[in-house]
A = this chain, B = another copy of it.
Amino acid sequence: MSQLPKRPLTLRDVSEACGVSEMTVSRVLRKSGDVSATTRERVLAAAKELGYVPNQIAGSLASQRVNLVAVIIPSLSNMVFPEVLNGINAGLDDTPLQPVVGVTGYRPEKEEQVLYEMLSWRPSGVIIAGLEHSEATRAMLLNAGIPVVEIMDTDGNPVDAMVGISHRQAGRDMAREILREGYERIGFLGTKMPLDHRARKRFEGFTEALAKEGIEIEDRAFYSGGSALLKGREMTRDMLERSPDLDFLYFSNDMIGAGGLLHLLDEGIDVPGQIGLAGFNGVELLAGLPRQLATMDACRREIGEEAAKIILNASSSEPDADLPKTVIMNPTLSVGDTLRRKKRG
């Protein structure tokens, strides 16, 4: 830390400062090969003294190895994705690999562009949300020649590996639970997102399971943008005005579900006696509400960790060929205080 360099320092600078060849300096800094303790100390001291930071660009070009993992997700505004990122971070901690995040805003063309940019850094692997991609995106994924893990959804065929839950199944399970409790006049409230395939699949699974019992959704509403909690309140109010006979509301996420719950409590409506409620995601927030919303855990953190493991394995020197390429997690349904209506034997 003696001078402020206009030109970034290079190995050569360190080499000259300590009178050891560039090659040996490089070996010390990478802890590779055998270097005598004395020269190592000398090199380390010089590097620290100068404030040398290695140039990974040059290193990666020379070694043809890049310690980056591309992570591509639709959004950061929805807490779901930060939690997956935390899982990936945890899974990659204490390994040489580092996640690099790209955000698509749920737009396929943006996804394509983000992937292209990330691939141009020649990462060691790709973790990407969802199974639905444009043709070009799939082609890039296929041709990249690196491990690819598609996460969060397992209803479809992965390019390479996938880790997630079946949202169709999640929808079906919730529907069955609702019917089992005797609810029959059901409303659905969700996001207006044609490109949120996971929400769509939950909805499809949900209606499918209802249909099997001869039941149809009686009312539905979709929103986009704004405060989810507030939207939940408003939409619930509006829906119950339109369809006062409903005895259950299924929300596509916990945030609007919480809004609905708060509205009903304000109105003094008996939950779950008169109306039952369920959301999706198991967001931590819910713990503080006056009543526990029925919901289903999406295994977000675990998905991130598992995806990281797969990339790690695939890019290790001796990959375990037996490690499964498809991991389907089982979301747990928690009924909370807003779903049970009957006494049960």
Contacts and interface: CB of A to CB of B under 8 A. Distances in A.
Nearest to A116: B53
A57 B55 contact: no
Contact of A57 (B8, B66, B82): B66
B287 A229 contact: yes
A121 B122 CA distance: 13
**A contacts with B: majority SS:** helix
B143 A1 contact: yes
Given A51-B143, A101-B101, A289-B229, A76 B66 contact: no
Interface stretch (A147-155, A202-210, A258-266): A258-266
- Central interface residue in A77, A121, A142, A228, by most chain B CB within 10 Å: A121
Given A51-B140, A100-B100, A122 B57 contact: yes
A114 to B, nearest CB: 9
A98 interface: yes
Copies of this chain, whole number: 2
A226 B231 CA distance: 26
Nearest to A51: B143
A288 interface: yes
Interface in A71-118: 76-77, 79, 82-83, 85-86, 89, 98, 100-101, 103, 116-117
A335 interface: no
Interface in A1-54: 1, 4-8, 51, 53-54
A249 to B, nearest CB: 15
B145 A6 contact: yes
Given A57-B60, A58-B61, A4 B229 contact: no
Contacts of A103: 89
Given A51-B140, A227-B287, 16 more contacts: A4-B145, A51-B143, A55-B122, A56-B121, A57-B122, A76-B76, A76-B85, A77-B82, A227-B285, A227-B286, A230-B287, A233-B288, A255-B285, A259-B288, A262-B288, A285-B285
26 contacts: A4-B143, A4-B145, A53-B116, A53-B144, A54-B120, A56-B121, A57-B61, A76-B76, A76-B82, A76-B86, A77-B82, A77-B83, A77-B86, A98-B117, A100-B100, A100-B101, A226-B287, A227-B284, A227-B288, A228-B288, A229-B287, A229-B288, A233-B288, A262-B288, A262-B289, A262-B290
